[in-house]
Copies of this chain bind each other. A is one copy, B any other.
Amino acid sequence: MTQNTKLGCLYGIGVGPGDPDLITLKALKALQKAPVICVPQAANRRDSYALSIVKDYVTPEQEILRAPFPTDDAEGAARVWREAAKLVIERLEKGQDVAFLTEGDPMLFSTFSYVLAGVQEMCPQAPIEIIPGVSSVMAAAASSGAPLVTHGQRLAILPAAYGLEDLSQATDKFDTVVLMKVSPKIDETLADLKKLGLTGQSTYVRRVSTDREKVIKDVTKITPEDMDYFSLLIVKNDSAGNYAKEN
Interface residues, chain A, CB within 8 Å of chain B?
12, 14, 16-17, 19-26, 28-29, 105-110, 112-114, 116, 120, 128, 130-135, 138-139, 141-143, 145-159, 161-166, 169-170, 173-174, 209, 242-244, 246-247
B residues near A142, Cβ cutoff 8 Å: 12, 106-107, 130-132
Q: How many copies does the complex hold?
A: 2
B residues near A25, Cβ cutoff 8 Å: 20-25, 28
B residues near A157, Cβ cutoff 8 Å: 149, 154-157
Structural contact, B105 and A138, CB atoms closer than 8 A: yes
- Bound-state CA distance A33–B228 (Å) is 34
Structural contact, A21 and B12, CB atoms closer than 8 A: no
Knowing A106-B142, A139-B132, A147-B116, the reply to whether A156 touches B159 (Cβ < 8 A) is: no
B residues near A145, Cβ cutoff 8 Å: 120, 128, 130
- Bound-state CA distance A165–B242 (Å) is 10
Which one of B109, B133, B153, B247 contacts A151 once the chains associate, using CB atoms below 8 Å?
A: B109
